[in-house]
Structure 1
C-alpha cells in the first residue's frame, strides 16, 4: 500500500512537472538575485528549469532538475578596468530625459552580444521544448521573442513596481497626474510644473521605446533568433507580469488582471552571520550602522572628498559601522569601522543590533528593509532610487541626502536625527508588520501564477482588450474629436440660425419704418 502511494505521488509530480526557461542575461546581481530565488523554488517543486545567466548556481536545487546556460567570458571585467568603466556616480544628477535615454542605450550594448553567445545560439538551434519562458523585464526586450521561438507563453518579472517599462506592454493605466515617472524624483501630490514635466517625461519615454528601442531590439530578433517572428507580435502578448512591489513599498497604483504583486518573494528566514560578522554585531553595545551602495555602485568609486566625509562622520559615532568596501584597504579608516567586500545583506538587516541602513535606495534593498523593519538613510544616485527615497521620507521610516549634499556635517546631522528620534524605527516596524500581513506568501503567489499560466496555456482570458486598440482609440482621441466637431457644428448651426433670425427681425423693422414714412 505504501509503495502504491509513493508511486502515485511520483506520477502526480511528474505529470505536473513543466519545462521552464528563465532568462537573466545582464550582469546585475540584484536582478539575478530575484530570478534565482524564483527559479530555485520552481525546481525545488519538481519543475525542469533552465536559466540563461552570467552568474550560475554554485549549489543547484536538490529537487526537480536545474541547468545553467552561462554567458561565460562575456561580461567579465579585466583587472585594469575594474570599478572604472561603470562609475554610476558620474551619472548622478542627470536630467531625467537624458537618464531615460542612457538607460535605453544600455540595451544596445548588452543584448546583441549576449544573444550571439555560443551557448545561447546552441540552445536556439536545438530541438528543446519549453512550457513557459520567464524573462527579467529590464533591457531584455529581444529575449522576449524566445517565447515565440519556443512556442511558449511569456512571463515577465519586473524588478520594481509598475512603470513605463511594462505598463504599455499589458495595457495598464498609469495617469501622469499622480503616478511619478520612475526616472523622476517626484512624489504625490505633484505641483503643476511637476505634473507637466512628468507628463512630458512619460510621453518622451513612450516615443523613445516605440521609435528607437523596440525597432533596435527587433533588428536583433530578426538577425539572431530563427523563429522569433516580429517583436511587436510578442511584446504586447505577455501572459503575466510578476511585480516585485507591494503597497508598503510604493504608493498603490492600478494593475490589470495579469499583473500580480509579489514584492519580497525572494526573502528567506535569516541565518546566522559568518563568525567575524556575528562577533562584530554581537559585541556592538551601542548598535551597528550598515553602509552599502548596492552591487552596481561601488564604494571605491566615491571621489576622495565624499569618501573622507564618510570617514570623518563615522569616526565621531559611538556606534560601529559595517561598510561594504570592494578592496582591502581604506586610507584613514576609523577603528569603529569594519570593511567587508561582500555582506549577507538579508541576514545583516535581521540582526537585532542593527540600528540604521545607509543605502543607495535601490528597490531590492528597499524590499529587504521593509521585510526586516529597518530605518534607512538613502543616498539616491540614479534610476528609481530617488522615487524610493522620497517614499521613505514621506512615510516616516527614512530620510535622504542628495549626492551633492554629502558632507561630514550633513551625514552626522541625519544619522544622529534618525538614531535619536524613535519615530523612524516605529514607522519602519509598522511598515514591516503591514508587509508581512498577507493571505499567502509572495513566493507561493509567484509559483501559483507561473503554474497557472502553464496550466491554461498562457491564460489569454487575463489579457485586457485595450491592447488590441490603436493608440488613438485607447486614448479616445477619435471620440474626443467627434464630440469636439459635434459641439462646434452645433455652435455653428445655432449661430447661423440665430443670425438668420436676427436678420429677418431687423429686415421687418426696417420695412415697417419705410412704410411709416
Structure 2
C-alpha cells in the first residue's frame, strides 16, 4: 500500500511539473542563437509544458502540445535594412576593447526594440502569468524584469558557457589568471602580457556594465514594463543558469551548484540526406571537405581576392568539397566543388566520408564537429570564434587560420597538414568519445533541472552566499586592510622600540664620556 501511495504522489508531482507555463525570451536576430533557443523550448513543450516563446523567426513546424510564438517582425525588418552597414569580415578584427562597448550599445538598442514591439506589449498588458521565464543572457538584462512582471521563476541561458555576463549574477568565481575573456583567443596558460590584457578586458566589462548597461536597462525597463523593478534587485535572482558548454568543448572552469552544462543538447540523431547530397558524399572515394562559415557569416561576402585563393586551392585537391554558398552561381567553381545555399550540417558531418570541416569556429559548429568526431580548420572572424578555434588547437583536433592571413598558400599548407596527419582525426574521435560519455543526454539534463527548480520553487538552496556579500567582503578588502593595519602598527611599534633603545644607548655613552 505504501508503494502505491508513493507512486501516486510521484505521478501527481510529475503531472504538476509537466503542466507548468513557461515563457522563453530568445530575442537575438541570429539564426545560431535561435536554433539553441528553439531546441530548448521545443524540448520543454514535447516534455509536457505549456510554452510561449518571444523570438524573431517562429517555428514552421511547431511541436506537439501547447506552443506559441510571440514574433518580433520589426527587429527582423530593422536588421534587414541595416545589414549592408555591417560586413562581419570587415569589422571582425576590431579587438575586444572596441567590440565590448559596441556590442553593449547594439544589444541595448535591440533590447529596447524587443520591449516596445507591439506583440510583446500586448503580452505584457495581458495579465498572463508564467511559472517560469527562461531568458537568453546576452547584454539584455532588462528582459529579466519580465520574470518579476509575470510572477515566474527566472532561469538564464548562456549560449557560450560561463563568462562575465553570467558569472557575476550567480556569484561564480572566474580567476583571470587562467580563464580568458570570451572575446580573446588565449589558451588557459596565458603569458604575462595576455593576463594583463585579460584583466583589462574584465575591468572594461565592469565599467561598461556599471556605467552604461545597467543604467540604460533600468530606464528602458521603466519605460515599457509597468512597475518595473530595478536591475540591481532582479539581476541576481536567477534560480538556474543553463550553459551551452561541456568539458569536451571548453576548458574546465569553476561552476556554482546552480550552473548546469548542457552543451550539445541541440544535436539530433542523423537523418537521411537529400538524394543529390547522398550521392555526392557516397561517391567521394578520396573523401569530402565540408566548408561552411555558419548562419550569420556569408561565404558570398568574402572579398574576391580571398575567394579566388580558396577556389585555386580547392581545384588542386583530390578530395571533393561541399561548400555552403549563398548565391546561385560561383564564378570559377572547380568540378570537385558542390554548392548549396542551405545544407543539413549535422547530417553531413555524420557521413563517414567527411574528412575535414572548414568552419568559422562558431560554438554550434564546433560542438557538432566534436559530436561527430571530425577534425576542423577554423577561420575565425569575430566574437567567441577565436576562442573556440584556440580550443580546437589546444585539444589537438584542429588548426586555426586567421582570416587576415587567409590566402592560397596558407590554406594549402593547413589542408595538407590536416588531411595527411592522422593525429587530428584521432584526437577528434577521442574528443567525441568524451562528449558522448555522459550519464544522460544533455537535453534530458536540461529538462530535469528545469523541472527541479519548478518542483523546489526556485531552488533557493542552490544559491551561494557570495551574492549576499558587498564587494569589499567578497574580496576580503576589510580583512586585508585589518591585517595590513596590524602589520603597519607592528612595524611602527618596532621602530619606536628601536628608537628608544638607541636613545638609551646613546645617553649612556654620553654619561661615560
TM-score range normalised by the length of the shorter chain: over 0.9
Q: Partners in 2 of 1:483 and 1:82 — Cα distance?
A: 57
* Aligned partner of residue 75 in structure 1, secondary structure: helix
Contact 2:74/2:117, CA 8 A, preserved across alignment: no
Q: Cα offset for 1:195?
A: 1.0
For residue 244 of structure 2, what is the aligned residue in structure 1? 244
* Aligned partner of residue 355 in structure 1, secondary structure: strand
Q: Partners in 2 of 1:69 and 1:389 — Cα distance?
A: 35
Q: Partners in 2 of 1:165 and 1:304 — Cα distance?
A: 37
For residue 189 of structure 1, what is the aligned residue in structure 2? 189
* Aligned partner of residue 120 in structure 1, secondary structure: helix
For residue 58 of structure 1, what is the aligned residue in structure 2? 60
Q: Partners in 1 of 2:434 and 2:410 — Cα distance?
A: 31
* Aligned partner of residue 73 in structure 2, secondary structure: coil
For residue 481 of structure 1, what is the aligned residue in structure 2? 481
Q: Partners in 2 of 1:45 and 1:92 — Cα distance?
A: 39
Q: Partners in 2 of 1:155 and 1:178 — Cα distance?
A: 27
Q: Cα offset for 1:214?
A: 1.5
For residue 455 of structure 1, what is the aligned residue in structure 2? 455
Contact 1:171/1:466, CA 8 A, preserved across alignment: yes
For residue 210 of structure 1, what is the aligned residue in structure 2? 210
Q: Partners in 1 of 2:173 and 2:21 — Cα distance?
A: 33
Cα gap change, 1:295 to 1:492, in 2 (>3 Å): same
* Aligned partner of residue 23 in structure 2, secondary structure: strand
Q: Provide the TM-score with structure 1 as the length reference.
A: 0.95
* Aligned partner of residue 134 in structure 1, secondary structure: strand
Cα gap change, 1:82 to 1:353, in 2 (>3 Å): farther
**CA deviations over 1:195-226 (Å, ceiling 9, x no partner):** 11111111111121111112111111110011
Contact 2:133/2:155, CA 8 A, preserved across alignment: yes
Runs of 4+ in 1 over 4 A off after TM superposition: 8-12
Equivalence map 1:1-400=2 (5 Å): 13=15, 16-62=18-64, 64-76=65-77, 84-400=84-400
Q: Partners in 2 of 1:375 and 1:430 — Cα distance?
A: 11
**CA deviations over 1:131-171 (Å, ceiling 9, x no partner):** 00001111321111111111211101110121111111111
Which segment drifts farther, 388-397 or 428-437? 388-397
**CA deviations over 1:161-198 (Å, ceiling 9, x no partner):** 21111111111111111111111121121111111111
Q: Cα offset for 1:95?
A: 2.4
The count of residues paired between Structure 1 and Structure 2 equals: 506
Q: Provide the TM-score with structure 2 as the length reference.
A: 0.95
Contact 2:108/2:140, CA 8 A, preserved across alignment: no
Contact 1:239/1:460, CA 8 A, preserved across alignment: yes
Q: Partners in 1 of 2:468 and 2:87 — Cα distance?
A: 42
**CA deviations over 1:323-357 (Å, ceiling 9, x no partner):** 11111111111111111111111111111111110
Contact 1:83/1:300, CA 8 A, preserved across alignment: no
Q: Cα offset for 1:235?
A: 1.0
Contact 1:222/1:228, CA 8 A, preserved across alignment: yes
* Aligned partner of residue 84 in structure 2, secondary structure: coil
Q: Partners in 2 of 1:399 and 1:15 — Cα distance?
A: 45
CA RMSD of aligned residues (A): 1.8
For residue 446 of structure 1, what is the aligned residue in structure 2? 446
* Aligned partner of residue 431 in structure 1, secondary structure: helix
For residue 500 of structure 2, what is the aligned residue in structure 1? 500
**CA deviations over 1:393-435 (Å, ceiling 9, x no partner):** 1111000101111011111111121011100000000000011
Instruction: Could you tell me which runs of 5 or more consecutive residues in structure 1 were left unpaired when the two chains were aligned.
Output: none
**CA deviations over 1:46-99 (Å, ceiling 9, x no partner):** 11000000111111111x3100011124313788x5862331111132122112
Cα gap change, 1:15 to 1:409, in 2 (>3 Å): closer
Instruction: Could you tell me which runs of 5 or more consecutive residues in structure 2 were left unpaired when the two chains were aligned.
Output: 1-6
**CA deviations over 1:108-132 (Å, ceiling 9, x no partner):** 2211112111100000001111000
Q: Cα offset for 1:12?
A: 6.0
* Aligned partner of residue 342 in structure 2, secondary structure: coil
Contact 1:30/1:295, CA 8 A, preserved across alignment: yes
Q: Partners in 1 of 2:396 and 2:237 — Cα distance?
A: 39
For residue 420 of structure 2, what is the aligned residue in structure 1? 420
Q: Partners in 2 of 1:183 and 1:10 — Cα distance?
A: 46
Cα gap change, 1:19 to 1:436, in 2 (>3 Å): same
Contact 2:376/2:397, CA 8 A, preserved across alignment: yes
Cα gap change, 1:161 to 1:9, in 2 (>3 Å): closer
* Aligned partner of residue 128 in structure 1, secondary structure: coil
Contact 1:148/1:227, CA 8 A, preserved across alignment: no
Cα gap change, 1:137 to 1:350, in 2 (>3 Å): same
